[in-house]
Structure 1
Amino acid sequence: MDTATYRIDGHTMYEHWLSVPLDYFSVISLLSPEQTSRMIPDRINVFAREYVRDGHEADPRLVFFQGGPGSAGPRMAPIGSWLDTALEHFRVVLIDERGTGNSHPLDAQALAEVRAPEAQAAYLSCFRQDSIVRDAEAVRHELQGDEPWAALGQSFGGFTVTCYLSQAPEGLSEAYITAGLPSLTEHADEVYRLTYREMAKRNKQFFGRYPGDEGTAWYVASHL
């Protein structure tokens, strides 16, 4: 692991880069040589930013998984919001999940370079929650060996924490989930449908206050 250290407003900030396997589950190795693109790397870099408040150097770590999917870990300088409270209890690690931020990119250009459709599908499968959990475990082992850490997941990040609990529970001391708890029995579409009535109610309240925005909202929805 390569690490750079900075100071910011009564805190030490560490920026960590770690090389990890792209394909933890040998999906790409199942492809034929004709299907496999030479553009698919064996290893990729994962980036994480760690904040430590002065006087709290001995605190346990908490790793944060961002929502999205496809969003990098938040850049929180100056420090505020939920991070300000969390730093009273934890050293906080904000991971750029693979495919986002300073970690290995996943975008249209990267996918186009893979070329073969079968290889593209295999490549995309390497960016799921199960691989993100493996990355987090690799970071944890580099930072603190076998000692477990706490995890906080927002939205899609909550799905990732649930995956973490399923695949590597020994790595977690605590798990916190905000607005991202998947159903155990129903498809995700069914969970979202349960929010429609409340969303319609909130839209009606919003347009009652800002009636000029309703036409714009319908235009955007129709365009999409």
Structure 2
Amino acid sequence: MRGAWWVTLAAVLLVILTTLEESPLYGMHPFTFLGGFIALGSLVVALIFRARAKKLSTLISGENVVAAWQLSQEEKAIYSHYLFAHERSKNLLILGITTFLIVVIFGLFILLIDEGKGAMLVVMLGLIVILSLFALGMPIFYRQKNLHSDGIILIGRKFAYVNGFFHNWDFPLSGIQKVKPIDKPFYGLYIQYYYVDRTFKNTEELFIPAPPGTDVHNLAMEITVTAETGWR
């Protein structure tokens, strides 16, 4: 969050420099526009992170906790490896579709243009390599992070802290799509929520393991009722 504030300050300074006559950037309106755009975006990000930090603090303090538990090392390992397999399979599917589209689009350009075929081929292969590294590397990164996280689960009616990661679905244009108890791949709770950003509507799935005896049915009902009524 502090980084976003510093970026906002730097962008505002850039805008100011374009308005000072003694500044070498005076009158450079593209920099004014760029600085204003970055400042606005960074300010929004900073405010969002500030709001999320306040919500997380209410979970940590117990103020808005509906249920809480801590995973054992074995439960955390099962959870981490399942998420790794789930995310890797999803990423591989997306990577396959994206690679196909890249090959088709760049392939047509390579066939149709007379010059620069080699450069287009290099760009195409570079894009595929970068996307592949991201698709295959991120699941590994998150698996390691999950394996070394605290294992703490804190469930609120509109947000949750799951093994080091905070999730919330109470911002405008966000909400719950589905909540249900699960028995596979482990006993626990499944939450599916959505949010809208510059890439339009996105869906996030949470597979939350719970110790035997945890009343996940009642927990799912409480979250669902809150989503339907808006009660906090």
Higher relative contact order (CA 8 A, sep 6+): 1
**Given the two structures, how large is their TM-score scaled by the length of structure 1?**
0.22
Looking at secondary structure, tell me which structure has more helix per residue. Answer: 2
TM-score, structure 2 as length reference: 0.21
Which structure features the higher share of strand residues? Answer: 1
